[in-house]
Amino acid sequence: GKAQHSALLSAEPAKKRRSPTPGINFKLRAGSPGDRVFVRSLSQKVFSVYGPYDEILDQWFVEEACMSFVALKKGARIGFILIGNPSVSASDMDVEILALAVEPVLHGFGVGSALLSRAEKVLKTMGIRSLLLHTAVDNLQAVGFFKSQGFITFESRAAFYPRGQDALSMKKNLN
């Protein structure tokens, strides 16, 4: 994605959220500078096949180049979403999801959906009309997840990632 960003959102209070699957309780809160090590570590774990995203996302995070939310289970960070800063976004009010990651052992428990839903709710209040993202063509789990959340594919991008993988560009209207 593009680096077109500039501030962390930190005013959102943490709220408890029960996922659809019994036994997994988690809460969401706005990201903060203290989440940097976690974002870097999880990015390295789940995105390294595509390129040095631990470094790339860390750079955006350090530059306060995005809005972020973090999911916590019993106080431990388990997932995050990073979104390009709406204040420096395109005039048509699109913003880009730069990354959405959940600890692999906790996939399927509603954490990613909750992070996305929280971000969408906040973005709508800011007048954002649509969300964009890129995901690898061969990342079928992510493609399926984003389709289930209302995203549609509008473009294929050859050799989009630093390690050469092709990507799909996906979009969701927030109206």
Q: Strands, DSSP E only, in the chain?
A: 15-18, 25-30, 66-73, 76-84, 94-102, 130-136, 152-157, 167-173
Domain ranges, ordered by start, for the chain:
15-173
Residue 3 has pLDDT above 60, yes or no: no
pLDDT 10s digits, 156-167 = 999 999 999 999
Q: Distance between CA 74 and CA 20 in Å, rounded?
A: 17
Q: Which two tokens stand for residue 111?
A: 């954490």
pLDDT for 109: 95
Helices (H), the chain: 36-47, 53-62, 111-125, 140-148
Average pLDDT on 21-43 reads 88
- CATH code that applies to domain 15-173: 3.40.630.30
pLDDT: is 77 or 87 the higher one? 77
pLDDT 10s digits, 107-146 = 999 999 999 999 999 999 888 889 999 999 999 999 999 9
How much of the chain, in percent, has pLDDT values that exceed 90? 67
Average pLDDT on 81-89 reads 75
CA trace torsion 21, 26, 29, 33 (10° rounding): -120
pLDDT 10s digits, 52-84 = 988 888 888 777 658 899 999 999 999 999 998
Residue 50 has pLDDT above 90, yes or no: yes
